[in-house]
Amino acid sequence: MTTGRLGGLCLLAVLAPAAGRAQAVQNATLRRAQQAYDNLEYRQALSLGQAALRERLAGAERGRAYEVVGFSYAALDSILKAVDAFKQMVLIDPERQLDPNRVSPKAFSAFDVALRQVLLVRQLRIDSTSFVAGQGAVPIRFMVTQPARVVTRAIGGGGGGPANFLVDSSAWNGQVNLSWSPRLPNGDPVPAGTYTVVVEARLGQNTFSASQQIRVTHGRVDTLPHLTSLPGYQYLPETEIPPQTWRPLGLAFLYTGGALIGTLGLESGGLGASSKRELGVVGGAALVTGFVMTLRTPAPRPAEGNILYNRLLTEQIARRNVDIAKENITRRQQVQLTVGPPLKTGAPR
Amino acid sequence: MNRGGGMPVAMVLLGLVGWPARAGAQHLMVGPQAVLVDYREVSSGLRYSGSGFGGVATGRHGKLSAAASVVRLTLDPTDQSTAGAGFKATQLDAWVGYDVASYASVEVGIIRRTADPEFAAQSLGALRVGARSTYDLGPGATVSFRANYLVAPKFSGGGRASFSIDLGLGLDVRLAGRLHGVVDYAFERVNRKTNPGGTGEIDAPIQQTLARLGLGIRF
């Protein structure tokens, strides 16, 4: 393929995007380099592009200048220099992608070689998805341009401070497909919130990282409320007032009678009948007390049956609440998780 | 009077005094008492009647209970008595009980009664062994009945007793707050026998009924 035909292909490749990009280019030298390239004047485009690189350029314009230089070198068959220019370009814009159907094979080849010579994490993609926690995963895709140790983490989360979840740590090269099961070590789903998935590649002293934010939301969980009572079962009073009886007076009679019988039975015949004054006083007091206590409302006494019933009811409620707690844990762990792009905040309408 | 009963008296009193500090009483009650007494000795002609005053202290800790009463009695001959003069007496009663059921306890204790003048009546010292039954009549009211056998009684005039018993009826009523009314009836019968001049034993029984009426502050 001749240089002229190659230049024509390059022109086709970059013409449409260049037209749009030329309008956005602020730097005059870069704009002239772009125009020179569009006019197939590659040497002039090359010299103007290099001149633009010596000027103060914003990041995007610097990347664009390297692109013009790279394409110009490729058109002029200086492949190694084209590779160098493309390396600088992808370091500035790692996501830059060339369409092999629309650029010259030389330029695409140089671009492909450049990609293999720098460590990049490109095309990090996390698809929106929805699944039940524990039964699905978040797909994470990216490309690593060189064999490297790649550590993938998810950082952030809801309340309780930032969390750091290790998704994967392996040696990768090329296209990588990972899946992250967003669960805590205890099986619970990760808290709802915004997470940043960070992919960090390391090769010797070279490191490169890419990140993307995602938002994890929880579906509604219908947990069961704890019980404070069982339907149809009520706590019973643990004391009861016994019915009024003649028992106090009867006891007073019994004890006083015992003392009287004992006194009469043990009196010495030789000493004559003893005085009953003392027994009359004390026995009378006992009988009066017994009569008064008979008339009074008896003191409440523990209702053993009710106490036992309440204890059984309490144990039954506690046992049921333990089951409910286990059920709720399972329900919370099986919450519906939805993963999508983060909410845009503060954007003008 | 035989002084041999001093050691048991001291032991019981020591236990009584030391018990609350040792175990931390669940309750302790002290109070004054008025006393009515009837005393007979030897024959139906030797009869005395009188009154007196004293104090009572009771305590309980768990199944262990204790009580002590000291009264000073003034006895005068009754109308039917052949005695020429009365006398005074001091009586100490003490019990330590242990509950064997909710309504029954076993108890040991002492009784010591001294007469003044010394030979106006028999002074008595003995150990008590017996049981007591206590029932609640209602809120704050309990009634009790006790039967104590008086072991190895000693008399100031000598002699022995083959059978000696003390029966009692007690009532404790909470009157208001910590104020309790405490009344107690005691019937004492001692079959004393003497052998004056070695001519053979003759009966010289002793019989006393005593009513204590008191108030107590319960702590």
Q: Which residues of chain B neighbour A251 with C-beta distances below 8 Å?
A: 135, 137, 143
Range of A188-192, B142-146, B203-207 with top mean pLDDT: B142-146
Residue A223 has pLDDT above 80, yes or no: yes
How many residues does the structure list for chain A?
Answer: 349
Residue B127 has pLDDT above 70, yes or no: yes
* Phi-psi label, residue A156: left if phi above 0, alpha if psi -120 to 50, beta otherwise: left
Q: Which pLDDT band holds residue B88 (cuts at 50, 70, 90)? A: very high
Residue B6 has pLDDT above 50, yes or no: no
Range of A9-18, A297-306, B2-11 with top mean pLDDT: A297-306
Q: What is the pLDDT of residue B158?
A: 84
Q: What is the pLDDT of residue A57?
A: 86
Q: Which helix (H) or strand (E) holds B33?
A: strand B27-41
Residues B143, A251: C-beta atoms closer than 8 Å: yes
Q: Which residues of chain B neighbour A281 with C-beta distances below 8 Å?
A: 36, 183, 185, 211, 213
Residues B169, A268: C-beta atoms closer than 8 Å: no
Residue labelled with tokens 């005395």: B48
Least confident stretch, A2-16, A138-152, A305-319: A2-16
Residue A273 has pLDDT above 80, yes or no: no
Q: Name the residue with higher pLDDT: A213 or A15.
A: A213
How big is the CA angle at B70 (ends B66 and B73), to the nearest 5 degrees?
A: 150
Q: Which residues of chain B neighbour A296 with C-beta distances below 8 Å?
A: 138-139
Q: If you average pLDDT over residues A108-120, what whole number do you get?
A: 91
Q: What is the pLDDT of residue B17?
A: 35
Residues A271, B40: C-beta atoms closer than 8 Å: yes
- Give the nearest chain A residue to B183 (CA atoms): A282
Q: What is the pLDDT of residue B132?
A: 93
The average confidence (pLDDT) of chain A is 85
Residues B169, A255: C-beta atoms closer than 8 Å: yes
How big is the CA angle at B156 (ends B152 and B162), to the nearest 5 degrees?
A: 30
Residue A346 has pLDDT above 80, yes or no: no
Q: What is the pLDDT of residue A19?
A: 41
Q: Where are the domains of chain B?
A: 3-19+27-218
Helices A28-38, A59-75: axis angle to 10 degrees equals 30
Give B100-122 pLDDT, tens digit per residue.
Answer: 998 899 999 999 999 988 778 88
Q: How far apart are CA A24 and CA A18, in angstroms?
A: 10
Instruction: Tell me if chain B has a CB within 8 Å of the CB of A296.
Output: yes
Instruction: Tell me if chain B has a CB within 8 Å of the CB of A295.
Output: no
In this structure, the number of other CB atoms found within 10 A of the CB of residue A252 comes to: 28
Q: Which pLDDT band holds residue A81 (cuts at 50, 70, 90)? A: very high
Q: Name the residue with higher pLDDT: A49 or A133.
A: A49
3-state SS class at B22: helix
3-state SS class at B154: strand
- Portion of chain B with pLDDT greater than 70, in percent: 89
Nearest CB to B211 within list A252, A282, A294: A282
- B140: CB partners within 8 A, 6+ apart: B173, B174
Q: What is the pLDDT of residue A330?
A: 86
Residue B31 has pLDDT above 90, yes or no: yes
Q: What is the pLDDT of residue B4?
A: 40
Nearest CB to A251 within list B135, B170, B210: B135
Q: What is the pLDDT of residue A158?
A: 63
Residue A44 has pLDDT above 60, yes or no: yes
Instruction: Tell me if chain B has a CB within 8 Å of the CB of A262.
Output: yes
Q: Which residues of chain A neighbour B168 with C-beta distances below 8 Å?
A: 259
Q: If you average pLDDT over residues A100-121, what whole number do you get?
A: 90
Burial class (CB in 10 A: 0-12, 13-18, 19+), B160: middle
A–B CB contacts, 8 A cutoff, strictly below:
120
Q: How far apart are CA A193 and CA A156, in angstroms?
A: 7
Instruction: Tell me if chain B has a CB within 8 Å of the CB of A241.
Output: no
DSSP string, B73-86: EEEEE-TT---S--
Mutate to test the interface with B, among A289, A291, A294, A295 (most CBs of B within 10 A): A289
Give A148-175 pLDDT, tens digit per residue.
Answer: 999 999 998 765 567 888 999 999 999 9
Q: Are A156 and A163 in contact (CB under 8 A)?
A: yes
Residues B38, A274: C-beta atoms closer than 8 Å: yes
Q: Which pLDDT band holds residue B144 (cuts at 50, 70, 90)? A: very high
Residue ranges with strand state E in B62-195: 64-77, 87-99, 104-116, 124-138, 141-155, 160-176, 179-194
Q: How far apart are CA A277 and CA B38, in angstroms?
A: 9
- Portion of chain A with pLDDT greater than 90, in percent: 51
Residues A255, B36: C-beta atoms closer than 8 Å: no
How big is the CA angle at B46 (ends B41 and B48), to the nearest 5 degrees?
A: 90
Residues B169, A296: C-beta atoms closer than 8 Å: no
Nearest CB to B167 within list A263, A270, A285: A263
Nearest CB to A281 within list B187, B203, B211: B211
Q: Name the residue with higher pLDDT: B216 or B5.
A: B216
Residues A285, B135: C-beta atoms closer than 8 Å: no
Q: If you average pLDDT over residues B130-142, what whole number do you get?
A: 90
Burial class (CB in 10 A: 0-12, 13-18, 19+), A239: exposed
Q: Which pLDDT band holds residue A69 (cuts at 50, 70, 90)? A: very high
Q: What is the pLDDT of residue A10?
A: 42
End-to-end CA distance of chain B: 37
The average confidence (pLDDT) of chain B is 84
| CATH top class, domain A3-117 | mainly alpha
Name the nearest CA neighbour of B191 among A260, A264, A262, A268.
Answer: A268
Residues B3-19+27-218, CATH architecture: Beta Barrel (2.40)
Mutate to test the interface with B, among A275, A277, A296, A301 (most CBs of B within 10 A): A275
Q: Which pLDDT band holds residue A344 (cuts at 50, 70, 90)? A: low
Residues B209, A279: C-beta atoms closer than 8 Å: yes
Asked if ipTM goes beyond 0.95, one says no
Residues A266, B167: C-beta atoms closer than 8 Å: yes
Q: What is the pLDDT of residue B12?
A: 40
Q: What is the pLDDT of residue A260?
A: 92
Residues A259, B145: C-beta atoms closer than 8 Å: yes
Residues A271, B44: C-beta atoms closer than 8 Å: yes
Q: Which residues of chain A neighbour B38 with C-beta distances below 8 Å?
A: 274-275, 277-278
Q: What part of B 50-89 touches A (C-beta under 8 Å)?
A: none
Q: How far apart are CA B219 and CA B28, in angstroms?
A: 5
Q: Which pLDDT band holds residue A345 (cuts at 50, 70, 90)? A: low
Helices A3-24, A28-38: axis angle to 10 degrees equals 140
Sign, CA dihedral A99-A101-A103-A104, equals: positive
Q: Which residues of chain B neighbour A288 with C-beta distances below 8 Å?
A: none
Q: How far apart are CA B212 and CA B93, in angstroms?
A: 12
Q: Which residues of chain A neighbour B189 with C-beta distances below 8 Å?
A: 266-268
Residues A258, B169: C-beta atoms closer than 8 Å: yes
Residue B57 has pLDDT above 50, yes or no: yes
**B214 bridge partner residues:** B33, B182
In this structure, the number of other CB atoms found within 10 A of the CB of residue B172 comes to: 21
- A303–chain B nearest CA distance, Å: 17
Q: If you average pLDDT over residues A57-83, what whole number do you get?
A: 91
H, E, C per residue of chain A: CCHHHHHHHHHHHHHHHHHHHHHHCCCHHHHHHHHHHHCCCHHHHHHHHHHHHCCCCCHHHHHHHHHHHHHHHHHCCCHHHHHHHHHHHHHHCCCCCCCCCCCCHHHHHHHHHHHHHCCCEEEEEECCEEEECCCCCEEEEEEEEEEEEEEEEEEECCCCCCEEEEEEEEEEEEEEEEEECCECCCCCECCCEEEEEEEEEEECCEEEEEEEEEEEEECCCCCCCCCCCECCECCCCCEECCCCCCHHHHHHHHHHHHHHHHHHHHCCHHHCCCCCHHHHHHHHHHHHHHHHHHHCCCCCEECHHHHHHHHHHHHHHHHHHHHHHHHHHHHHHCCEEEEECCCCCCCCC
Q: Does domain A121-218 have CATH number 1.10.20.10?
A: no
Q: How far apart are CA B145 and CA B133, in angstroms?
A: 5
Q: Are B187 and B5 in contact (CB under 8 A)?
A: no
Range of A267-271, B79-83, B191-195 with top mean pLDDT: B191-195
**B39 bridge partner residues:** B48, B208
Q: Are A13 and A104 in contact (CB under 8 A)?
A: yes
Instruction: Tell me if chain B has a CB within 8 Å of the CB of A258.
Output: yes
- Cis-peptide, bond into residue B117, ω within 30° of zero: yes
Q: If you average pLDDT over residues A109-136, what whole number do you get?
A: 90
What residues does CATH 2.60.40.10 cover in chain A? 121-218
Name the nearest CA neighbour of A203 among A143, A150, A142.
Answer: A150
Helices A59-75, A42-53: axis angle to 10 degrees equals 150
Residue B195 has pLDDT above 70, yes or no: yes
Q: If you average pLDDT over residues A103-128, what whole number do you get?
A: 90
Instruction: Tell me if chain B has a CB within 8 Å of the CB of A186.
Output: no
- Give the nearest chain A residue to B45 (CA atoms): A271
What residues does CATH 1.25.40 cover in chain A? 3-117
In this structure, the number of other CB atoms found within 10 A of the CB of residue B219 comes to: 11
